[in-house]
Amino acid sequence: MLEPKKALAKAIADYDTKIQALKADMISQIESLPDNPRINRIGDRGNCFVMSSKDLGDNWTPEYHDFKWQYNKIVEWINKFTAKRAIDILEEIVRRGSVRISKRTYYFHPDVVAKLTHSR
């Protein structure tokens, strides 16, 4: 039988391992989501794209239409914050279509929100 202190340390280590596995699974699912079919990426790095102006709607910011940028931002937050905070962020995005982090509000395309909802 383990000493109480060692048993607690082992339980914490096991818990941390499970949290890291959960984060890795969330990241893997998000990174596998499809890109915006209405854009055509150009260049080697893939961070530039063109799209028809008829698809812009009310939001003309590039980040709003760049699904991969939005997914990468979410992955950044999952890596940066605790698992609980990351889940809260995802729930807020799904519920409101936006999230406020560090005095900035990020708006997510409805198709991204739908994909996040269906990937859970």
**What pLDDT does residue 111 have?**
96
120 or 19, higher pLDDT: 19
pLDDT tens digits for 21-48? 989 999 999 999 999 999 999 988 888 9
Contact present, 48 and 41 (Cβ < 8 Å):
yes
pLDDT tens digits for 75-106? 999 999 988 899 999 999 999 999 999 999 99
Q: What's this model's pTM, rounded to 2 decimal places?
A: 0.86
For residues 8-14, give the mean pLDDT: 88
Give the number of other Cβ atoms within 10 Å of residue 81's Cβ.
15
In order of 3, 45, 53, 116, the CA distances from 29 in angstroms are 39, 22, 30, 9
